[in-house]
Amino acid sequence: MTIIGALGYLKVCARWVPQSLTTEHRRQRKATRSELLEHFDAEGEAFLSRIITGDETWAHHYEPEMKRQSMEWHHPQSPRKKKFKTTPSAGKHMITVFWDIDGAILVDVMARGETINSDAYIKTLQKLK
């Protein structure tokens, strides 16, 4: 048995999480979830069919670190390490996706140099018509 095995340590990977939320962000998300559940309870499937949601993300031009590359030795009682995605990119494009109950209804790639602001969203949303 190795010394590491005798001490009870294991090699584990960090868990990827998209971001670290503040207490206020968590409170807002909980309030929104509760409101949406109330509407669903009152209206059922008809409520879901009217929802269109969207999100934007950066598509980076680089190879991310593999999960195995982030492995470290930890004792079984150690808290699980979290790793936030902060690796700089060689290049990137902003992608906006809108979807409804049936799936994606618009995938838009912003032109290089454009900024996400109200004018950009208006231009993107006009493509939904």
pLDDT tens-digit series, residues 4-58: 666 777 777 777 777 788 999 999 999 999 999 999 999 998 998 888 888 888 8
DSSP annotation of 67 reads G
pLDDT for position 114 = 81
Quote the CA–CA distance of 18 and 28 in Å, as a whole number: 17
Residue 74 to residues 5, 65, 78, 81, Cα–Cα distance (Å): 11, 20, 6, 9
Total domains, the chain: 1
Residue 57 to residues 8, 60, 98, Cα–Cα distance (Å): 40, 9, 12
Reference 104, options 127, 77, 75; nearest CA is: 127
Task: Answer whether residue 2 shows pLDDT above 70.
Answer: no
Q: Which domain holds residue 22?
A: 3-126
Average pLDDT value over all residues in the chain: 81
CA–CA dist 99, 120 (Å, integer): 18
pTM of the model: 0.50
Q: Is the pLDDT of residue 64 over 70?
A: no
Query: Can you tell me the distance from the alpha carbon of 4 to that of 12, in angstroms, rounded to the nearest whole number?
Result: 13
Average pLDDT of 77-97?
A: 73
pLDDT for residue 74 is more than 70 = yes
